[in-house]
Structure 1
Amino acid sequence: MAATEQPLDLVTIGRSCIDLYGEQIGGRLEDMASFAKYIGGSPTNTAVGASRLGLRSGLVTRVGADHFGRFIREQLIREGVSTQGVRDDDERLTALVFLGIRDPDTFPLIFYRENCADMALDDADIDPDFIRSAGAVLINGTHLSRPNVFDASVHACRIAREAGARVVFDIDYRPVLWGLTGKDRGENRFVADDAVTARLQQVLPLCDLVVGTEEEMHILGGSTDTIAALRAIREKTAALLVCKRGAHGCSAFPGAIPDRLEQGVTGPGFAVEVFNVLGAGDAFMAGFLRGWLRGEPLETACEYGNACGAIVVSRHGCSPAMPSWEELQQFLADGARPCRLRDDAALEHVHAATTRAGTWDELTVLAVDHRSQFEALCEQVGADPARIAGFKALALKAVDRLAQGDPRFGVLIDGRFGMRGLEAAADHPYWIGRPIERPGSCPLEFEGDADVATELLTWPANHVVKCLVFYHPDDPADLRERQERQLLRLQDAVRKTRHELLVEIIASRNGGVGDDTVSRVMQRFYDLGMRPDWWKLEPNDSALAWRNIERAIAGNDPYCRGVLLLGLSAPEGELIASFQAAASTPIVKGFAVGRTIFAGTASQWLAGEIDDDAAIADLSRRFAVLVEAWRIARAQVGVSNVSEVV
């Protein structure tokens, strides 16, 4: 079976851990105060990078039966990496690595890998059918440092070769993981050792591709002279040898080793500022394999590898920094890119938009993020505002009763009164939105911490940041400018905290609304550099208005997730009537409606006229009416739904 006919292009084998990256840059690891959590480990990073580039990848490893092991598994699924080969280890914990960015040449690491799950991998964990399902298998030098993982890696290689697949060897030399240096010297990349050289060379006859830095070629070849090391390697394998040379790019050697590295098939490097070299080699491997496994010329594979490495050295983290295929193409096409790549706003937007998890062709959301409106309801019925939290927790139960785990449903809940609902939502697969604006503020103000980024750092990563702005294109210039500054602050914050952003526009409060009013507001925001993941817009029965909105999005951000309709407390029948015009516009994915659904129910429950079960049933019923109406409207314009309302 040819590699292109197999279910997977690549299976990687070995390390899988949690990377805890220091968020303070330029200091000692001792002085770092907070850490960002990512999945890590060289073969895990490569599997993620390969998937983002369009290869069908899978991973063989062990993780602890713990919170971090579950995070690794969940993140791999989000990244499109097959977890068929990931085993839970009930006796060992998931490995950890603490990493820091001191300066362009210093990256302190501490490996917490004593008796960890992935180093317990053994022959029994290798599923022959899973290995045979791939066109290539990648093994990793670190996983040759213990007899059990060495045997597992070699076993997988032999299965792959018997199946006609190719074997890739990433030398990935970490002396500390071979016990050759102190545990506080995790960043040390080279210690000569004859025993390590002999162990690594045992796998060379099985290999079709060997990739490493010059230092890694030194340990594999047993010489600190790079050419001599490469020739020693060549004596033991006919594999393609690729030597990574950092800023100088790479040199590939399909045959005899020449006298100089430059005489190989070379791929020049890219001039970018080095921010963080950690993970660059894994990105190089993913990029090179994207070309090599798809039959591209060797020069192209080198170019892909060098470009992916250059992108990753400009960012924080390893796996999250891996580029997507769309991003790689944009990088290669843009000869005017800045040296400080993180300043390339267009590239950063493509990265964020093409690496976020999930897609929604339909999204129906119960919005109970209202705060002042609930306080007003309590005043009307004489209820204690402390009861608001209880009702918002019931709203989530109402969504779950209807949705029954269907991820096309969502909730929009605030953190002031709805924290219990937000906490409970963590155990469900639903879309979660959360407001950041101070209720009714115009000009826009943010709720919570005085610094919006500091506030968002306290929010779980899967909370979509929703911001309502009362904005009309004919507002006074000073009002528009104040609100625009706030929105730009918010966008900068969500990019740094890696949250998604939903911008809700209500123009009708400040002036008349015509067919181009909302699209003019959106275009103004786009011109300022705003690129929200979602828009939430007022209902409108004008087909022309929706065409203008769709053109604004298509012309400025083809990666936009879509538009949700808001309700503005419209009567149920009026809101349903407005669905028809919106449903014919593909960019509109559904709605996020609140008071139309909950107002009557909330009033009765807060007044003590109905109990919890009755409130849940009534909310679920009212929500179902709108969901069914939306799906009927979509069906009438030729957009089918996967399933009916539960």
Structure 2
Amino acid sequence: MNRLYAIGEVLIDFIPLQKGCALKDVTAFERAPGGAPANVAAAAAKYGAPSSLLTKLGRDAFGDFLLEELERAGVDTAHIPRTNDANTGLAFVSLKENGERDFSFYRNPSADLLLSEEEIDPALFKAGDILHFGSVNLVDSPMKQAHRKAIRAVKAAGGLVSFDPNVRLPLWDDADSCRRAILEFLPKADLVKISDEELEFVTGIADPETALHSLLRGDVKAVVYTRGGDGAELYTANGRCVSPGYKVDVQDTTGAGDAFVGGFLFHLLKQGASPDNLTAVLEQHHGEMLRFANASGALTTTKKGAISALPTIEDIQKLMDSQHAPA
């Protein structure tokens, strides 16, 4: 199997022990490893894909903790340098009664933003590898240039590029800066995952179907549209496929979208997807891939945290068997 490389942030999520409180009213938190690219890498690794994270950590106790947790999750950490120039990033989360979240981030900058393009080795990438990234680390920083170099390198090697905008507006000076960065990088991806909460913000188009088709430009061959508990849809130039969600007891939605992406990319690697055969692989295996990804995301919401809440393949199979969600 080829390798998944996720590039971007890894941080500590401080998750409240109480639900239904505004962040200012939370009195106790528990720490959990987080950051969307790290969550995706951990999910793919847990399901059996070779998985690496490209980021940078501070030389601090939180950085030590994250390295240990990533290694425990099966993620290759050989390409994570450490720095004294910034601390490891932190995010404080408040949970609403329905498990949805609000965030407060501490990074000005955090160590991950200091990963430079000189620290990206193009020789890492091979044909059939997948590079996955989000928008959180596309703010103006050395890390933004590192993304550009990594994308060029994986494309030159014959690999796939996956992009999940994962919009986090509190991290940007203004909404327009966030949107511009997303629209600059989106056409460089072969596969785009976008949620129902992000679609109109990114595209400026109110009608979902029109908006989704507008994303099929540049190198984009497929768009995966996630709708929370209502499941997901796959759009290609040749049509649309729908896969319903699963009913679970939602405790915390942190990392659910990342668990979905990790499960989906695991299946792409399993099927030997490449830029040349991506559409054919998706058309042949979309049912299994969407069911698995939906179950992966759903089960992650039944526990607190992201990496610590990832289900096993056996648990995913049990859920798929028990609810028999058709694709």
Q: Give the secondary-structure state (helix, strand or coil) at the position aligned to 2:197.
A: helix
CA distance, structure 2, for counterparts of residue 121 and residue 224 of structure 1: 36
Q: Deviations over 1:159-210 (max 9, x none)?
A: 0011111111111111111123xxxxxxxxxx5x3x4333222223421111
1:172 aligns with 2:166: yes
Contact 2:188/2:220 (8 A) holds in 1: no
List structure 1 segments (4+ residues) > 6 angstroms apart after TM superposition. Answer: none
289, 297, 317: which is aligned to 1:329?
A: 317
CA distance, structure 2, for counterparts of residue 102 and residue 145 of structure 1: 28
CA distance, structure 1, for counterparts of residue 160 and residue 268 of structure 2: 11
1:224 aligns with 2:214: no
Q: Give the secondary-structure state (helix, strand or coil) at the position aligned to 1:160.
A: helix
Contact 1:92/1:116 (8 A) holds in 2: yes
1:314 aligns with 2:302: yes
AA of the residue aligned to 2:78:
Q
How much does 1:157 deviate? 0.9
Q: Give the secondary-structure state (helix, strand or coil) at the position aligned to 1:36.
A: strand
Q: Give the equivalent residue in structure 2 for 1:17.
A: 11
Q: Give the secondary-structure state (helix, strand or coil) at the position aligned to 1:83.
A: coil
Identical pairs, percent:
30
Q: Give the equivalent residue in structure 1 for 2:89.
A: 95
How much does 1:99 deviate? 1.2
RMSD: 2.0
Q: Deviations over 1:294-344 (max 9, x none)?
A: 1270111111111011101121111100112222222222349xxxxxxxx
Q: Deviations over 1:445-464 (max 9, x none)?
A: xxxxxxxxxxxxxxxxxxxx
For the structure 1 residues 94 and 102, does the alpha-carbon distance in structure 2 shift closer, same or farther, using more than 3 Å as the test? same
Q: Give the equivalent residue in structure 2 for 1:119.
A: 113
Q: Give the equivalent residue in structure 1 for 2:223.
A: 241
Higher RCO (CA < 8 A, seq sep 6+): 2
How much does 1:275 deviate? 2.1
How much does 1:134 deviate? 6.9
Q: Give the secondary-structure state (helix, strand or coil) at the position aligned to 2:101.
A: coil
How much does 1:229 deviate? 2.1
Between Structure 1 and Structure 2, whose CA radius of gyration is higher? 1
How much does 1:105 deviate? 5.9
Contact 1:197/1:222 (8 A) holds in 2: no
Q: Give the secondary-structure state (helix, strand or coil) at the position aligned to 1:97.
A: strand
Aligned length: 312
Contact 2:216/2:222 (8 A) holds in 1: no
Structure 2 unaligned segments of length 5 or more: list them: 272-280
TM-score when normalising by structure 1: 0.46
CA distance, structure 2, for counterparts of residue 279 and residue 80 of structure 1: 17
For the structure 1 residues 329 and 65, does the alpha-carbon distance in structure 2 shift closer, same or farther, using more than 3 Å as the test? same
Q: Give the equivalent residue in structure 1 for 2:190.
A: 208
Q: Give the secondary-structure state (helix, strand or coil) at the position aligned to 1:124.
A: helix
Contact 1:276/1:314 (8 A) holds in 2: yes
Q: Deviations over 1:246-271 (max 9, x none)?
A: 121011012156xxxxxx21111011
How much does 1:106 deviate? 4.4
Q: Give the equivalent residue in structure 1 for 2:144.
A: 150
Q: Give the equivalent residue in structure 1 for 2:245.
A: 269
How much does 1:147 deviate? 4.4
Q: Deviations over 1:40-97 (max 9, x none)?
A: 1000011111111111100000110111111111111111110121110111000001
For the structure 1 residues 240 and 15, does the alpha-carbon distance in structure 2 shift closer, same or farther, using more than 3 Å as the test? same
Structure 1 unaligned segments of length 5 or more: list them: 181-190, 258-263, 337-646
Q: Deviations over 1:511-559 (max 9, x none)?
A: xxxxxxxxxxxxxxxxxxxxxxxxxxxxxxxxxxxxxxxxxxxxxxxxx
Contact 2:260/2:294 (8 A) holds in 1: yes
AA of the residue aligned to 1:232:
S
Q: Give the equivalent residue in structure 2 for 1:138.
A: 132
Q: Deviations over 1:130-151 (max 9, x none)?
A: 2348711111111222243222
Contact 1:84/1:130 (8 A) holds in 2: no
Q: Give the secondary-structure state (helix, strand or coil) at the position aligned to 1:86.
A: coil
Q: Give the secondary-structure state (helix, strand or coil) at the position aligned to 1:100.
A: strand
How much does 1:29 deviate? 2.6
CA distance, structure 1, for counterparts of residue 70 and residue 24 of structure 2: 31
Alignment of 1:70-469 (within 5 A): 70-104=64-98, 106-132=100-126, 135-180=129-174, 193=176, 195-255=177-237, 264-295=240-271, 297-335=285-323
Q: Deviations over 1:477-506 (max 9, x none)?
A: xxxxxxxxxxxxxxxxxxxxxxxxxxxxxx
Contact 1:12/1:44 (8 A) holds in 2: yes
Contact 1:201/1:236 (8 A) holds in 2: no
37, 41, 44: which is aligned to 1:47?
A: 41
For the structure 1 residues 135 and 106, does the alpha-carbon distance in structure 2 shift closer, same or farther, using more than 3 Å as the test? closer
Q: Give the secondary-structure state (helix, strand or coil) at the position aligned to 2:56.
A: strand
1:61 aligns with 2:45: no
Q: Give the secondary-structure state (helix, strand or coil) at the position aligned to 1:293.
A: helix
18, 28, 35: which is aligned to 2:22?
A: 28
